[in-house]
Structure 1
Amino acid sequence: MSKKKQPLTGGDVLPGSGKSLRDAGNAESDDKTVIQSVARPSAQNSQQKPEDDSSDKTQFASTSAPQAVTPDDGSDKTVLLGSAEIDDPKASDKTQFIHPADTGDDRTVMLGGSVNATELLHDSATQLQGENVTVAGALSPEQLQTGQLDEEGRTVIKDRFVLESLLGSGGMGAVYKAKDLRKVEAKDRDPWVAVKVLNENFKNHPSAFISLQREARKSQTLAHPNIVQVFDFDRDGDMVYMTMELLSGASLEEVIKLNPEGLPLEQILPLTRQMGEALAHAHRHRITHADFKPGNVFLCDGDVAKVIDFGIARAVSSVETDQRDDKTVFDPNSLGALTPAYASLEMLLGEEPLPSCDVYALGCIVYELLSGKHPFGKKPADQVAIERMKPKRLPQLNRRQWKALRRSLALKRVNRFTTVDEFLNEFVPIVNPWRRPVALAAVAASLLLAFAGYRAYQSQEKEKQLEIEKQALAARQAEQQREMATQRQVQEFGTKLSSDFGTLTEEAGELQELLDQRNLSFDTGALWQRQTAVIMDELLEVYESDEWKVDAGKHPLAARDDFQQMLNDQDLKRQQAKQTLANWARTYNFTLSDAYLAGAIDAADENRFSEAQRLSQRARELNPNSVQLSQVDGHIERQISAYQAEQERLAQAREAARLAAERQRLRDAFEVEVASLRETVQQCQSGLLREGRGGVFKLDLERLAGEFTRVANRYPVFQNEIQQLQQNSMSDISSCIRVYGYGKTQDAKDKALLASQLFPTSAVLFESMEIYPWNSCKTSFAGRGQRYSCRDRFLENDEFRGPELLVIPNSPGEQAYAISKYEISESEFNDFCAQSQLCSPSSNSGNIPVTGRSIDLFRSYAQWLSSETGFEYQLPSYKQWYKAAAANQSPLDSGRNCTLNSRGIRKGDSLLPVDMGAGNRWGMVNHVGNAQEVVLHPDGLRAAGGSHAVAMESCNLDSLNPISTGGDARSGFRVVKLLP
């Protein structure tokens, strides 16, 4: 279901803060600066967990005390007063201070010198080291007095910018909403700008003004629709400031807080591309952000993302040799900024930030937007590496998207995307961006803004041309917004459909719950049945209506592909829900059927036979295939017969004594009959062997069935005992048949079929029996082939055996198997030819490997073994063969039959008997050398292990050669038996 963003209210907003003017300074979660005193926090404090680990604040620690107020709570933390603690700002010309935020683990950290980044990340307050710097969030009244004051007591900078109100403060300084007097003179409808007044830290730093002016100029060149526009960088006396566009909207930090379960994928994809294109644009201008986080992305009205705070970004480390006047005089890396939760492992280790560092931060933000949670629980990358954490798979992403997102979150730079463009091409690709109006507008916007910034810097005479270009940009952005508005309409209709579907699902759930409750109060009465049937009919009608399709067809966007895809997805969901409901109803009816059958038995036992028959019929209507129907009907009939007999007995009360004596006589005779039946059943035990062949089956099933029928007819009053005896007897007989099947599998199956026909009440027992021949290959033999091997008997000819087999150890979830200990010999293959008539026996009847035969005949040999033994044989896969041959890195037989002619030793001239040679640890012989062996490789047929014609030094486990289906004189084979 789509989620709508909550629009902000309350006026203009600081870029990146996400807070309105009336909220500035009041919320503890704002992006305020916290000043730490000279002393570093104690080890105890540094290990305390932050109260709010979702904040995104910039923090510093200084080596000189800032000008601010120290609280009287006993702590050494210097804080700035909030707006709630001062007089009305209109009654004073002094800029007011704001409350500090709680410390958290995703604040921006300023690193300098050789500070250990990992140590710094785990302090309870962020610190700044390396330079003698005084850092404050908002400027003190004394600092602002360097500017002029207007008649209302407001600070005026450079006779142009009137500071109206404080929007917020961060690591660089304080940001104010200001009115541009030049725009007022020009009667501009929007005279407002944002003014960032830099704090003492940067103003007093050697060469800071020159370096930051260069950074501001680079920001001006970053003309892009998704990067906040920087207008100018200047100073007024001792006051250093920067002007930029004023944004309205919310930061992604707030968007994530408002959506703890994450946002829809279709809303996140365009945001991802906007953020990524902004970063990629900066990277192409040799600038990396190095502190990219949700608080530095602003979501403006119209779902346009703006990346902010490039003021603490760093130039990419490559030297710019084409501009002699643009060499770095002051290294901004000495004040490197990072936020631990979004900083790459390289940055935490003090390495130079590269574009791939921004890729890591972008991946964290995208993951957080999708799930509402940081992929690593806001833990820094070094801690993630120590704990070996992995991001949880997001189900809304397809395989390609998840693979791209997971790669962007790789801790090691070598495993991560090198550029943002690479990530975008995999996560949110555009087949041809020049054919898409939205993408074309974004590209045109980047080019026009870059050109406009450059021209504005070069000459004030081009302002008119710049205005024309801005109008063209506005038109393209309007086109982009229209497309996004259309997409929102599609999403809103989809949300409505999903909401309607959710309502139907809730209705179905309520009806199901009602039926479940009725089932708990089951009643065999007709009224209960009718009421239940009405509810069931209503349940099955829940998803029947197609009115939503009619409404969708009338929608003005019905012809769009994404709209049609949404309809198809919705239709599939409803069809699946309908089928699920039908399955539930069928299961519910089966449950009712069982309840009715239980009621029928109770009614029959209480001599309410008409009711019992009615309930049995109702059960049959609900589940006509129930196996209990015949049993219950038989029980009812027997109860009726017993009842009639009892009535007759009561009617003959005069003969009560005689009937009692007769009944005792019948009992005695019945016990004799029972003993005889038990003795007959026990005959099946004699002649059977528990292991191996299985013996002889001596029980006459047809005679036994006749005896049970005769006894049941003769002693109807003992029907229950007869049934119990027959049930126990059938269990014993099934065990006998299973043992008999060890040696005579097909005969045993025939016996089971005959028993199911003769004893229909136990038909399920005999039909579900699994009858296998005796399996001599025990799993306990696995890996012990030097001592234990196994061979399968032929079912119809006890004189023949299959090849000698070795049981190979198998891993959990892997098919257990055994493999022939030796290569199949000529004599074994001749037996196959003689019996199957599929080939002519070879004149070589010895014990050498069979070669020169086609692969089809090798397969036929395995199929022949399967049919003769009752087990599944096949040619080995290369994986099966290699595992058995390697035998946990067993050393090769030094005397293996491979080509060798050295120092009077000559080997490999011909094939040797299959049993000649030393086996590996698992008992396998001649797996290397002698005849190369046919295996099923993923790439086709292959011959593994090398042959006697292969040089000794190349004759090893890794020898693998193609082979034709016709076979050759050097290729033999083994067989694999799949263990049940």
Structure 2
Amino acid sequence: MVVNDKTRIVKKAAENLSACGDSDVTVFVGNDNTGANDHPQVNHNPGLERAIPGQSSSVQTSSSSLVESAGSKSFDATRVVDGLATSDGLPRPHEAVHFEPSSSREGAVTKTVIKGRFELDKLLGVGGMGAVYKALDRRKLEASDSDPYVAIKLLNEDFQQHPDAFISLQREARKSQTLAHPNIVTVYDFDREGDRVFMTMEFLEGAPLDQLLRKSAGVGVGKEKAALLLKDVSNALIYAHSHRIVHSDFKPGNIFVTEKKGAKVIDFGIARAVSEGGVASKAGEKTVFDAGTLGALTPAYASLEMLKGGEPQPSDDVFALGCVAYELFSGRHPYDKVPADKAFEKKLKPKRIKTLSRRQWRALDSALALRRQERTDSVERFVQGFFGKTGWKWAFGSLFAATLIAGGMGYTHLEKENAEEQRRVKVELEEKLQNELVQRRIADKKETIGRLLELSVLNQAWERDLRIELQEYSALNPSDAAFAESTKRSVSDLFIAAATGQLNLGNLEPAERMLSRAVQWNEGVPGAEEIRSQLETEREALRVRLEQERIAAEREAERMRREVARAAQLRVAQEKQKKINLVIDDLESMLKCDFNISVDRIGYALSALQQVDATKAKLLRPVIGEELAGCFDKLALRNPTNTQPLLDSARNLLPQDALLADLDIDYCAHLAPGSGGRGDRYSCADSLVSGGLGPEMVVVNGGAGRPLAVGKYEVSAGEISQFCRVTGDCSSTEEENVPLPARNLSLAQAQAYIHWLNGETGREYRLPSEREWFAAASANGQPEVADRNCYLRYGGVEKGVELVAVRSGSANPFGIVNAVGNVQEWVFDVDNNLLAAGGSRQDPMSRCLATSKIFHDGSADGLTGFRLVRDLVR
């Protein structure tokens, strides 16, 4: 039974994050896949990775850009990265992103390009949904755009595993595109390459508001600046709400203060359309996808209703806006970052800001009301109350009129200035690209020459290609004569080495040719005269050697003539030995150790050898038995099921062989410890003499550094019924296919079942020790499985009401199911005392842990069962 305890997970995550000193991080809560991790991994790097260390950008940018900051240690939702914040300096590569020769980075060999268009320049930040990069848009560069940079948001790998991930980012892009407002970041497009999903948006320079607030902690940013920023973000929310979109995660980290364009609201990643009456529509998009199911929110800025899993309303954004406004004017959070539900429980009240007027404080206090019915219902009413019903409209109208007048007066001048700037940038870009092209060609030529030297083919075509490349390199880079000379010396050295090698092999003519070609590349090649002198010496030595070989050949011929007489006498023996050798050769090929080994063919070969030479056949039988036993011992560690028939056939062929008779195949020994969580093929079961299989097992480290086979599931009532049916020693009312765990058994009855199972399988099953059980149940200290069957009653959710099937529920990383909860399980401690470990369905979640244990007297009850372990045969 999977529980979607959303509120509990949000609270737990908020507590954990608060303990870490980072309470403004966006928390993700899912529907059916939440409970395993209460502390979300918000700083995960989902992006890309450079190919060459030390790569640096040749384009100078501001130190502050969209969600970019240096030296920050704590952020809201988007984690700002100073430079490229990974262990080696850049993010990891992805198959949807390719690398190609660089055209924009001095000293770089490769660059990261998406869709053949966007050249990633710098990682700006990492948020709940993905990573944001600064990227060069090659289309804009080709069009001589004076600002060819965009921001790219890539879906991170963890979020991408969510079944609605692609739809989520598409919805975010489309909703953001509909919000065309000067105080909302502009989104250009949404696209994908392979399984990498991304969207492009405008690249801004400035700093996130949370960074500015940290610099002015305790004092605020100043009344005048605070009012201007509040008006900007209020206008953005009013506009979004007019389009029936609630931001749902409004906070300082999602507000970007630009250098020239005021404040902009970013990341409408979890925004949802709001229906009439405040309830999400049951038609249209919601029936297909609802981004709210991703459950992302920031506890310190989420309203009480959002923390309880309620449907987002505009008043939820009003609460978050009130928190931001309070921080702007005072430099601190109204509730000291305590989530709304905790603040409600503690009856916390915001402290009045003395610099605000009564009217302003009433408006702000109403926006900060913890309960929705007491809170201002819209941003527009909050603004009217805070700035006055007409004052804020007059201020915005005056600003707009002033902008129009200034724009009209300065249009012609700005147009001319812009055209001139574009022409200048175009000329600079053309010069830069031309220089980069030349440098790239020089680097390519140098790399090609190096690659040819590494090939060292030393034929005419190779020499021709090398000369052409050297000529072209010298034409491109005439100042680098040293490289050409060094290359020629290297080629000459290669030919000298080849000449020396041929000379050592006695190949005099090839050695002379290699020497001649070495001189062609370098007339003053050292060692040439020595090689020529050695060539003459070798020619004389070769003449002497050939004469000696002629004399030796004549002597060998005489010896062979003497052997002819004896050959006739040995012919019969040789024919016999030939037959023996053929059989032995066949046996050697047949004894190749794999699962295709044929024991029957080995038997036919032994029969053939018996007919030719019975003595050798008798001597060879124990050798073959030893080879087969060693082979089957290895094969059993790979696949014991396929090895057992081969062993049976070998025992029939060589019934007297002790090694084959004593070979014991363990059906679990081939499994790696801890592999049980990978799937069913990483479990094992022993065969029963009476038919069927024993308990399904997985292999774990038993807590003492040795592998141990542990029951994947609790022993079921059906397995006990099978024991009763076969032995007739007990009675059971359960059917053999009953999936519930065995209980209402005494320790003596469980031991009787284990004794029967040992006789059926030939193995030594037993109850685990406390240490062995804990190592398997906790996966050697890994986190608890979230959906354990323990007592829970919260918000209409109930667990532990009844037992669940032994195969029900999620396995831990070792493949163990229901180790914690359901029924408590018998184990023995170091003093051989009987304990019941792991808790039962009646134990509350807080006490239902792998560390839970109580003493037990071994009597039968409805809450105690057991699982089995056995040692492996290695």
* Higher relative contact order (Cα pairs below 8 Å, separated by 6+ residues): 2
Shared fold (TM-score, shorter chain, > 0.5): no
- Name the TM-score class by shorter chain: 0.3 to 0.5
Query: If the length of structure 2 is used for normalisation, what is the TM-score?
Result: 0.37
